Amino acid sequence: MRVEVPISVTSSPQMYDESSTRNIMWSVFFCLLPAAFWGVFIFGLSALGVLLAALASAALFEFLFARLAGQDCPLWDGSACVTGLLVGMTLPPSVPLYVPVFASLFAIGVVKWTFGGLGRNWMHPALGGWLFVYFSWPRAMTTWTFPRFLPSPDAVSSATPLGLLKTGIVEETVLPPSPLEYLASLGYPESSVDAVLSPWLNASILEPLGISLPSGYVDLFLGIMPGSIGEVSAFLLLASTVFLLARKILSPAIPAAYFGVFGFFVWVFGGLQYGGEYFTGDVLFHIFTGGLLLGVFYMAADIVASPVTLRGQLIFGSGAGFLTFLIRFYGASPEGAGLAILAMNVFTPLINRLTPPVRFGAPVRGRGRTHE
C-alpha cells in the first residue's frame, strides 16, 4: 500500500542545519572539561568539590525554576550544566561550598529565569553569578590556593600574578621593564617545568629565528599559577576553542575585536606602568593572565547576551576590550575581563537597535538603492 506523506512548502529562503541548542551546549560543556580537569589536577580535591557543588546546584535550580514557571525541566539541553561548570571555573579553589551554590542560584534564578529561561537572559548567567558572590564574599573570592609544581609559597607568591602586580607597584622609583621581571624581583617563583622548557624552546626553536622567550611564559601558558579553577590553562582553553571555531559554534568576530583593541592599548600604554615608554607593553602576559581567554571565548561570545549582527559584535568586542584595559590598568580590580563583559552585556539591546540587519530588497541607508 502506498502512503503519501504531506510536505509543507514554505517561501524561500530554505535552510537546513544540524545545529541545535542541545548540540551546541554539550559541545561547549565538553570543550570546557579539559581546562576544568587541569584546575582539579593542580589545585587538588577542593577544586573538584567547588565544581561539583556548582554543577549540582545549577541543575537543581534549573529544575525548580522551570517547575515554578510551569515548564518542563530543560536539563537535557545542557545549558544549566554549562552555566554550572562555568560558575565553578570562575571561582577560587578554596572557596566554601556554599559560595558556588549561591552563585548558581543567582545565575539560574535571577539572570536566566527572570524573563523566562533559556534564550532570555539579560547578561551572561555564569558571570552574573560570579559578580554576585564576588561582592558578597570578597575575602573568600580573593583567597588563592597555591598550585603544585611551584616551590613552596611565601608571603608574596600566594597572590595571582595580576593581583601581585596591582598591589606591588608602590613606593618604587625604578621598576623592571616588564611584568614578569617585576614579579621575579618580588620573589614570585618559577616552576621546574618552566625552568626546563624555556631554555629548550629558546635553544631549539626560537633563537634560530632571532627570538628569545623569557622565563615565566611557559608557566602562564600551561597554567601553573594561582588563579580561578578554570582560567589558568591558556593552552587547554585555546585548544578547545579551535574545535568550537571549526564547528562554527563560536563566531570569531567578538574575540578578534576584543583581542585587537585590548592588545593595542596594552601595547601602547602598558609599559608606562613600569616606568617605560609608549609601545612597550607586554601583550602576551596580559592575554595569558586574569581569566581573559575564558572570558573572551566562553562568555563574551555568548549567543544570547551578545549582539546578533557582525557590526554589533565588533562594537561589543571592541568595547569589552577597551573596558578590560581600563579596569585592569587604572581600576581597583586586577583582572577586569568579567566586569567589562557584564558592562557590555547591558549595552547589547542598544547595540542591536543601532545595528539592525538590512532586509533583502530594502534600500541601503544613504545610497538610495536596494540589495540585489
pLDDT in tens, 234-264: 999 999 999 999 998 898 999 999 999 999 9
Task: Provide the percentage of residues in the chain whose pLDDT is more than 70.
Answer: 86
Partners of residue 124 on adjacent β-strands:
none
pLDDT over 60 (residue 137): yes
Q: How confident is the model at residue 371 (pLDDT cuts 50, 70, 90)?
A: very low
For residues 187-203, average pLDDT: 90
CA distance 262 to 293: 12
pLDDT over 60 (residue 370): no
pLDDT over 70 (residue 6): no
Instruction: From 339, 283, 274, select the one nearest 124 (Cα to Cα).
Output: 339
Q: What is the pLDDT of residue 136?
A: 96
pLDDT over 50 (residue 304): yes
pLDDT over 80 (residue 279): yes
Average pLDDT over the chain, rounded to an integer: 87
228: which residues sit within 8 A by CB, 6+ positions away? Answer: 39, 89, 90, 91, 92, 93, 291
pLDDT over 50 (residue 149): yes
Q: Which grid cell sits at 220?
A: 602562564
pLDDT over 60 (residue 169): no
Q: What is the pLDDT of residue 3?
A: 45
pTM for this predicted structure: 0.89
pLDDT over 50 (residue 226): yes
**365 vs 44 pLDDT, higher one:** 44
The three-state DSSP-derived secondary structure of the chain is CCCCCCCCCCCCCCCCCCCCHHHHHHHHHHHHHHHHHHHHHHHCHHHHHHHHHHHHHHHHHHHHHHHHCCCCCCHHHCHHHHHHHHHHHCCCCCCCCHHHHHHHHHHHHHHHCCCCCCCCCCCCHHHHHHHHHHHHCHHHHCCCCCCCCCCCCCCCCCCCHHHHHHHHCCCCCCCCCCHHHHHHHCCCCCCHHHHHHHHHHHHHHHHHHCCCCCCCHHHHHHCCCCCCCCCCCHHHHHHHHHHHHHCCCCCCHHHHHHHHHHHHHHHHHHHHHHCCCCCCCCHHHHHHCCCHHHHHHHHHCCCCCCCCCHHHHHHHHHHHHHHHHHHHHHCCCCCCHHHHHHHHHHHHHHHHHHCCCCCCCCECCCCCCECC
**355 vs 166 pLDDT, higher one:** 355
pLDDT in tens, 72-87: 766 788 899 999 999 9
Q: What is the pLDDT of residue 11?
A: 47
pLDDT over 60 (residue 292): yes
Q: How confident is the model at residue 197 (pLDDT cuts 50, 70, 90)?
A: very high
The answer to whether the CB of 372 falls within 8 A of the CB of 364 is no
Q: How confident is the model at residue 320 (pLDDT cuts 50, 70, 90)?
A: very high
Q: How confident is the model at residue 35 (pLDDT cuts 50, 70, 90)?
A: very high
Partners of residue 370 on adjacent β-strands:
363
Q: What is the pLDDT of residue 245?
A: 93
Dihedral sign for Cα 273, 274, 275, 277, please: negative
CA distance 348 to 329: 25
CA distance 119 to 90: 22
pLDDT over 50 (residue 372): no
For residues 305-317, average pLDDT: 95
Partners of residue 363 on adjacent β-strands:
370
CA angle 196, 200, 206 (to 5 degrees): 140
User: What is the total residue count of the chain?
Assistant: 372
CA distance 284 to 300: 19
